[in-house]
Amino acid sequence: MRQESRLLKQVKLRMSRLFRKKSTDVGVLSKSPFIEPDGDYGKAEDLAHVWSLDKADSSVAEDSGSRWPRLILAGSIFVVIMLFVFLLLPRVLPGFFKNSDIALFVETDPKLIYDDTYRVVKTSCCSVLSKDDITSKRITQLLMNEPVHFLGDDCKNGYVLIRTMDNIVGYVKGDELSSDMSSCEPDLHLYKIVIADISKRVMSHASNGTLISEVAMNTVLFADVKRDGVYQVQLPNGESGWLSSSGVIELQVDENTAEVGVRYFVSSALTMVNATYLDGGITKRGISIQGLAYVAAAVNGIAIPRELKDQINCGKPVKLEYDAVTSDLLVESIQPGDIVFLADPYKANSKDPYEAAICTDTGVLLMRAPAGTSIKLCKFDANSEVVKRIITVRRVFS
């Protein structure tokens, strides 16, 4: 009975569907605004049939064997780009932009001159002695930021053995030197500053600062900042300070002072008139004539030795002229700027230089005063006692 009832229900359901379809075609279709679409709309498409794709084209999967050549090519291009950026460009760009403003933005490795065998003077000046004893002879002096060769510290009384850059060997106080050479490495800085005045003050600030140090004529410092009227210079003790631009010579870091006329040499020498005399000294606090000749020549572009025994051979010899009748020296043959070397007044006919003098004008010498305590201007003529002591005259400026 149940099976018959189920069969009956299915027959009725099919008849009702057929009846609905016919009634829709006759009556309902005319009443409904919608039309049933004909054809295969809504049926899934066969992509291979519609678009004429074969199996390889219709698949998104890629053959693993064809991937490797592309990866190798991409890797090769990447390596070439990296080599170009990190190896070739750093070598090409500095030369390409050399002598242009762009060169300031191309960083290069600095070339350092000094290694751990060097030291630098960190005080305004220090004395170089013949022995490791304060009572020994002073050979010369060194200025702030001056590099020296370090030869050893197995000395007495806190002294160390050094050799100057012009090959003078002597002893200086160890605490007057620093092993940090950055302040005198030219390639670490932008400007080279040479002190042309008798002395200059280094201040803690560009304006209203306190005094850090006072540096002497011919001191060489390096600056990193330049403003209107001032430089920021690096000092050997790790500090930096400010220096006014008056009375200094600005140079490129690898440039030397240009040679100027003899009158500038004389002007520099005359700044030390009445300065305290100090054997071997080279600053206004105490100076010798050979020390004065050394620093005054240096700031005006001429390098001469520091020591008297070496200066007697510098420049060109001056041929002295004498009166044909009286045999007296013609004072005019010694010109301004000439260095006059004198014998010991108590050793007649000696050819060893005892002291020096600088001619500042015709018949005028800048020399140690008779009392031996200061530098004075002294007039001379053919009959002066100083003329009898002349060993030789050298001309360092033409």
Q: What integer is the mean pLDDT of 20-44? A: 50
Helix, strand or coil, per DSSP, at residue 66: helix
Side-chain half-sphere CA neighbours of 186 within 13 A? 11
pTM for the full model?
0.74
Contact 77, 83 (CB under 8 A): no
pLDDT for the residue 81: 84
Is residue 162 packed enough to be buried (19+ CB in 10 Å), middle (13-18) or exposed (0-12)? buried
Straight-line distance from the first to the last Cα atom of the chain, in angstroms, rounded to the nearest whole number? 145
Band the pLDDT of 25: cuts 50, 70, 90: very low
* The pLDDT of residue 62 is above 60: no
- How far apart, in whole angstroms, are the C-alpha atoms of residue 340 and residue 127? 25
Q: Which backbone phi and psi does 110 adopt, to 5 degrees?
A: -70, 145
What digits encode the pLDDT tens for the residues 231-284?
Answer: 999 999 889 999 999 999 999 999 999 999 999 999 999 999 999 999 999 999
The region that residue 149 occupies, defined by phi over 0 for left and psi between -120 and 50 for alpha, beta otherwise, is: beta
* The pLDDT of residue 366 is above 80: yes
Q: Could you identify the residue written with the tokens 């170089």? A: 128
Contact 357, 311 (CB under 8 A): no
What would the two tokens of residue 66 be? 């064809």
Helix, strand or coil, per DSSP, at residue 105: helix
CA-to-CA dists, residue 347 to 161, 268, 320, 355, 395, angstroms: 34, 32, 22, 13, 25
How remote is the C-alpha of 288 from its chain's centroid? 32
- How far apart, in whole angstroms, are the C-alpha atoms of residue 284 and residue 192? 23
Asked which of 7-16, 112-121, 177-186 is least confident by mean pLDDT, the reply is 7-16
Helix, strand or coil, per DSSP, at residue 294: helix
